[in-house]
Homo-oligomer: A and B are copies of this chain.
Amino acid sequence: MLYLIGLGLSGVDDITIKSYEIIKDCDKIYMDIYTSILIGTDKKTLELYYEKPINYLNRELLEESDDLIKEALSLKICLLIIGDPLSATTHSEIILRCIDNNVKYKVLHNSSIITAVGDCGLQIYKFGEIVSIVAWDEFCKPASFYDKIIANMKRGLHTLCLLDIKIQEKSIENIIKNRPIYEPPYFLTINKAIYQLLEISKSKLKEDPDNALINLSTKGFGLARMGNDNQKIVSGKMEELLNFQFGLPLHSLVIVGELHDVEQKFYEYFSMLNYI
Interface residues of A (CB under 8 A from B): 6, 8-9, 11-18, 20-21, 84-87, 89, 92-93, 95-96, 99, 107, 109-112, 114-116, 118-119, 121, 123-132, 151, 155, 157, 227, 262, 265-266, 269
Contact = CB atoms under 8 A, between A and B. Distances in A.
Given A6-B111, A110-B111, A151-B155, A87 B14 contact: no
24 contacts: A6-B111, A6-B115, A9-B109, A11-B18, A13-B17, A13-B21, A14-B16, A15-B17, A16-B110, A84-B118, A85-B118, A86-B115, A89-B262, A92-B123, A95-B121, A110-B115, A114-B115, A115-B115, A125-B129, A125-B130, A125-B131, A127-B130, A128-B129, A129-B157
Most chain B CB atoms below 10 A, which of A99, A115, A269 = A115
Given A6-B111, A93-B262, A114-B114, A124 B87 contact: yes
B125 A132 contact: yes
A109 B111 contact: yes
A107 B15 CA distance: 15
B17 A118 contact: no
A109 B8 CA distance: 8
Contacts of A262: 89, 92-93, 96
A127 B155 CA distance: 15
A127 B157 CA distance: 13
A92 to B, nearest CB: 6
Given A95-B121, A110-B110, A111-B115, 6 more contacts: A14-B17, A84-B115, A96-B266, A110-B111, A125-B132, A128-B128
A131 B112 CA distance: 20
Contact of A86 (B93, B124, B132): B124
B266 A109 contact: no
Contacts of A114: 114-115, 124
A109 B227 contact: yes
A84 B109 contact: no
Given A110-B110, A227-B109, A119 B266 contact: no
Nearest to A262: B92
A19 to B, nearest CB: 9
A148 to B, nearest CB: 8
A13 B108 CA distance: 12
